[in-house]
Amino acid sequence: LRMVLSAFALMMILLVSFIAVGIEQKAGFYECECCHHRYVPSYSKVILSMHRGRARYMKCPVCGKRSWQKKILGEE
């Protein structure tokens, strides 16, 4: 019974985490420090990239440079 409850709790934590990342991915956009291109990254890029506060270390789709790209909330 303890194993089942632990597995269920882990599944619920993972489910809520993935939903939260999905909501975070859709809200706003990221801006490249180098070329100032604004874009919304894919769900997998958001999950796999390192982050620090509201910035993520990602590769810009336009200039191809990796940098800490700042999250900007609002309309594009």
Structural domain containing residue 53: 2-72
pLDDT confidence of residue 38: 92
**Which pLDDT score is estimated for 75?**
64
Q: Please provide the DSSP assignment of 3-49 as one string.
A: HHHHHHHHHHHHHHHHHHHHHHHHSSEEE-TTT--EE---HHHHHHS
Mean pLDDT by 10 residues, the chain (76 residues): 95 94 85 92 88 91 93 76
pLDDT at 74: 74
Total domains in the chain come to 1
Query: Whole-structure pTM over 0.85, yes or no?
Result: no
